[in-house]
A and B are shown apart, each in its own frame.
Chain A
Amino acid sequence: MIRAAGDSALIINLGNEIDEEINKRVLSIAKRIEEEKIEGVREVVPTYTSICVYYDPLIISYEKLKFLLKNYLREKPKEIRGKIVEIPVIYGGKYGPDIEFVANYNGLSVDDVIEIHTKPLYRVYMLGFLPGFAYLGGMDERIATPRLKTPRTRVLAGSVGIAGKQTGWYAIESPGGWRIIGRTPIRTFNPNKKTPSIVLPGDYVKFKAIEDVKEYEEND
């Protein structure tokens, strides 16, 4: 289903739930559209269940673009194989000031929280919201914890947190209300790199508990 989102963007909707298969289709079709390099198309932004195509209406009209895009929806797209990215995390202490809260809230020990958090292979569904922020799927609901009532004015880049049933990390420093359980010493977002984000939609993330920051400090 294709719909206008203003006069210079349209949204192709491929489903109504957060689902790995739907998201795989989203990413494949988004890649296909991007590779086609249609004249007038400025940006292709895949999200959980939809693809937003930004275009220049002086070059291509809504109707014409819609017509072209419909063809790609009929094709069987090639699946994108994501990579597994290991994210080292120092849990607790000054790096994860809310880990005790998360443990107490769920009737667990801090070690349980770490074990439960490091166990799954999380799927990166999309990047958005703020630069380099990855929307992950697959967190165990046993560590789900509501956001802070009053968000912090400053959360450091690399902070790993939980908000409701979601987990993720702050790729850049920003204000935020997530419960911070740890911090990764690696730089996950770098504007100077050709691919600025360490993870891309379709990738999988594995958190790994580490004790020492030093071993990671050098290899940015």
Chain B
Amino acid sequence: MIEIIEAAGLSIQDLGREGYQKYGVPVGGVMDRYSAIITNYLVGNDRNAPLLEFFMGELKLKFLKDSIFAVGANSEVRLNGEKIEAWKSHMGREGDTLEISMPKNGVYGYISFQGGIKCKKIFGSCSTYPQAGWGRYLRGGDKVEIQYSSKKMPERRELPEELIPKYEKEQIIRVILGPQREHFTEEGIRTFLSNKYIVTEESNRMGYRLEGAKIEHSEKGADIISDAIPLGSIQVPESGKPIIMLADHQTTGGYAKIGVVISADIPKVAQTPIGGKLKFKEVSVEEAQRIWKRKWNTLQNIKRYLNGEIRALRVKINDESLLAFVEEI
């Protein structure tokens, strides 16, 4: 059991609800799947184990029972006031306090506990979705229960430096154009692909509203007959200012979509702070799927490395250090 002492933007999440969008149920789940999955792997959990997501940090938790945990964020982390490393598993003993500062880069962070957080599942998921009353943000005084765990430290405890996700304030975000490309003029598409767009304060887990050069619609206009909204869809309403739909986005909507962010780059969008800048770059579906495959393979290699199934070698070429996973034959 963990007690929340101080919290802001803290919620229980997993990888969301799959299969219910036809009933209007949003997928939801963590904003940055990549960081969340690694944080779960660090304590030996499955990728979908419920964990805590926090926004911007400044939180304090207390262990009411022993628990192996990891923090997935580029924050300063302290256990009983002593500095400990993020992206590494640790043992929290009964009575210990855990403090996490604002991330130095990125905005969403994760805390995993071995065994995962216990919760009442709705549509197969623990993800908090306050809009429907499915859980709420956690506050000081709340307690979360951890599932049974073996208390056995994972084979390897630490994520190699090279694999720690680092998020810049300016990002290049790859997109697949469409599905409503014809609702935009050629000039509109050029504007979209050649300008930087700023993340505004009107951004939350549902989507990020961007400010920047106005994107021109064609004679077909900004409105469409409502259709489905995949994760990462970039809607452009009448204002000409794009909105990127993120984890808690509604399932359907009536604004023309100029493009969809590729799966591999969703975490980069999610981790961009207010005031951060995004520059969009067009890629093909085939390329996006290749990039995703590589990213997925990296995740699987991280899992196997932490489980002690494969080894990692650091290769230094001039000043750059690269990581290679190697398998015993």
Residues of A at under 8 Å CB distance from B?
Answer: 3-9, 11, 16-18, 30, 42-50, 52, 54, 57-58, 61-63, 126-133, 135, 171-174, 189, 191, 196-197, 201
Contacts and interface: CB of A to CB of B under 8 A. Distances in A.
A8 to B, nearest CB: 6
Interface string B7-39: 000000000001111111110000000000000
A174 B179 CA distance: 29
A25 to B, nearest CB: 14
Given A63-B286, A132-B23, 15 more contacts: A5-B176, A5-B179, A5-B230, A6-B231, A6-B232, A7-B176, A7-B260, A7-B263, A8-B230, A11-B179, A45-B252, A48-B227, A128-B251, A129-B250, A131-B24
Contacts of A50: 227-228
Contact of A130 (B20, B232, B250, B292): B250
Interface residues of chain A: helix, strand, loop or mixed (majority): loop
A214 B87 CA distance: 56
Contact of B228 (A9, A17, A61, A191): A9
Nearest to A130: B24
Contacts, number: 143
A171 B286 CA distance: 39
B261 A6 contact: yes
Contacts of B225: 16-18, 47-49
B262 A45 contact: no
A82 to B, nearest CB: 15
A129 B285 contact: no
B292 A6 contact: no
A48 B18 contact: no
Interface residues of B, number: 42
A5 B257 contact: yes
B23 to A, nearest CB: 5
Given A17-B225, A62-B285, A47 B252 contact: yes
A130 B288 CA distance: 29
A129 B251 contact: yes
26 contacts: A5-B257, A6-B233, A6-B260, A6-B263, A8-B263, A11-B227, A18-B225, A43-B18, A43-B19, A45-B22, A45-B252, A47-B252, A48-B225, A48-B226, A128-B21, A128-B251, A128-B252, A129-B24, A130-B131, A130-B250, A131-B25, A131-B26, A172-B131, A172-B133, A196-B20, A197-B24
